[in-house]
Structure 1
Amino acid sequence: PNSETKPDTIITNNRFFFNHHIQPGGLGPTDHVSIEVQISALPIILPREAIPDINNTDWTQYKNLLENEPEIELDGAALPQLHQAYETLYQQLQTANSSATPMKTIQLRNNLKYTAKFKRLTKILDKYCQALITRGKTEHLNRVIKNTQQMLVDEGNLCKQQWWEEQIFKVEEAAKNNTRFWRRIKILSGKGQPKSANLKYNENGTQKSAKTDQEKTTVFTSTWKNVYKISEEENQQFDQENEEMVQQTLLRNSHKITSKLNINLQEIKDNNQQLPFNSINVALTIKELANKAPGPSKLRKPHFTNLPPNMIRNITHLFNCSYATGMYPTQFKTAEIILFPKETGEKSNPMNYRPISLLNFLGKVYAKLLNQKLVKHLEDNGIIKESQHGFRRKKSTSTLIAQLYERIAREKGTDRKTMITMILRDISKAFDKIWHKGLIYKMMQTGMNAQLLRSLSNFLHNRKAYIKT
């Protein structure tokens, strides 16, 4: 080459690495040999640590494995037996899940986004193939299947083309910056796994950096533990006289907020001898809840929507026993916290992350059932003011703003010289640092029934969380 500078170092790789390969190209305008990166438009396959592949769970096998589990009867039993029954329930579910769910050792990155038409054609083809199995071959059915297959191929190619065009556009945008360009190439080739930033923290006045997952977990835990803790300065501003009054009241009424030691279902039956929870409303609540990321048990919504009737009855019985004793199960009190970096700010700052707490799905079911009873009690007795729009059915910030606009318009309409003044107040860390004893004291003043008061008091007691990095 006629270039006055030394040629770039060229690393060649003529063998495919999953979905791409790199090789030297021709001479460029600067007399340098270019590097050609060939990337497949198909989903990029990467090896990963083995995890359950819930998308391929055999739900029929899962249900069959649980159908033979015995039904629970704990009326009259002691509280430790109720704790053990929950442990047994989770063991049964996880054993069935392990048997019915294959393990996944690969993951797809940048996988194709199939259109609604593609998904619809897939379902149609499945129906035709099923008809072929049950009714046998016919000339008409073969022709329809062949046409549907061709339509599916055409639509799939269109999806691939659209995906590839999106990736090319992103590479072109990144080409303006050399670092961003090669980062994008690595992502497309499957080697650009996003890495979390090192965390900076102070230890005895010395600036240090957490690099490993274990070190980051320690830093995150020590940092976020203080977020939920009332500081000495905040505690000094507290009304000591009011605090002592609340503590004395709770101490005198400890029997009203402490779980009972034995289960007595007769105490919670209504006038028609019906228990608070039945299999129908438990199954309906399971169905209504969203399928979000699982909690520590790793059991998701499908693990409960696919339960046989005997297991739904067992869960219902456990809920009634919990309500009778006022014991909120310990399995429902542990949260797995995942931290996501905020869009702005330094990722090395452990406070510049947004925490998401993941709870066990079954705990969400029981919490919703308790919440329904709480809301009914508060609304039936006029304890919640009509002016409250947050956390109310058929009300939201939108309905509040609409009423505010209406009020302002009405005032302005009657007197154009009226000055409208609005005071907005935001309580810092209102949910993170709420005073649990004060909250229990307030619940006692509402006159709710003994079982609900015990359950909600125990709900707040001895909750735990751990951070996963």
Structure 2
Amino acid sequence: MLNTIKIIQLNVIKLTKCRHRELYNEFRHLDPDIILLNATGIKDDCPIKFFGYRVYQKNSAGEDHAGIAVAIKHQIKHRPLMDFTDDTLGITLETNIGPVNIATTYIPCRRDYIYYQDFVSLSQRPAPTYLIDDMNARHPTIATADSNHRGTLLSRLIQNDRLKFLGPDFSTMVSNKGRPDIMLGNRNACLNFTTTRGNVTTSDHLPLHITISTAPIKIEPRTILDYDHANWDDFKLKIDETYVNDRVDINDTDGKTKDELDERLYYWFATILMAINATIPKKIIQFNSGPKQSDALNLLQSQYSDIKRHADIFGYTRYMRDLILYIQDNLFEEFRRLQTDFWDTTVHKIDLKYDDHTNVSKFWRGIKRLLGSTKKLCDYLQTVDGDKITDSTDKAHLMKTVENVFQITPEDNQHFDADNETHVLDYLEAERHQLALHDLTDLTRLRDDNYLTCKFNVQDIVNVIKRLKNKAPGISGINKLIFLNYPPLQY
């Protein structure tokens, strides 16, 4: 019997042979117990194969951008769940606290509804049930800023306590915008779990790595910069001394080649990172991995394992089955009690942290962060005249009007791609002289008649920095606070 389940979920955007090999090589070293694939584009008469896994697949419509697959290791004892009306699949596997259901589905953007009957069926199952899928749903209930019809329908199931949103709390797209891949659970989904992002693949979605366990999951601490105790005067002095000692004039950019500019840019980044490491201390962030196991929970798990082992050897009787169900109910109840106590303790810590009445807004921001939603849904549509439309009927009429504006005839749609491709290629050929790179930089080519080539000064840079959001703009980790404390003479 398992006590930890490792799952990988990914929207593969059509499982071609090349992508199939890439995914297998990517997932092989992770050794997941279950692989959930969405948008496989494989018809039911073409079996999907993964070495070492038993694969179940479904594509009711037989479309290219549809279909799902569930792959589970051969050695794991399981039972497939295939009694669904739409493209939904699942499996049931045995753990040390009883059966657990893992399911997946895929709802393309072109389908403006959810598989309501399948979702209700999953929510009513007595065992812990987890639905990990790509629904393309948006709603504040599932931690997105805006809303669509699929998200509204899903939020009703969540508000009616049929399902609960479990994550993730990060973007699941390569572009870092949007989280179409989500994890839901039924009322009895009370096990410990973690969700992390996987590496980039040929899909525009990121793999979702999920660990579900009946025991506490250890989350490794993370080291971050402690800006509150940074010595900004030493930071500026360190950068100035580096430029003086190395005798580098980073602003001398006239008459330089592309490689020389890249070297200066690399030197600029390296200097900042050196100053950061020398003047800004680091602190360790500890993560709460969830509630710790109680003595009562350990006792119930031991009782369940012993009785289950006895029943497997000597056979099941009615008394044995009733006793197993009774212990399972107590296990789920103890899990829920521990999670409720853990939530209350976490909220109490936030309350103590912002005990002052002037920090009420910070307290509620902390609570919203725990709930996974920090943005408010805009409840109106605004016309070009500035009128705000709040009535649902008027909003639907306005959206229909916008859709009609962008509609084209079937004949134009048939030649749309070819005509536009020809137009783009002709334009690039005609403007080839403007797209060709110069051998050397020449500041005299800067012109004020074009915003892409106009001159700018130090004050323009400072104004842009002030308008930046206080977050890391890229993999360098150099954020707005670093730029604000950068020596002005080095701009």
Normalised to the residue count of structure 2, the TM-score between the two structures is: 0.29
Q: Which has the larger radius of gyration?
A: 1
- Higher relative contact order (Cα pairs below 8 Å, separated by 6+ residues): 1
Structure ranking higher in helix proportion: 1
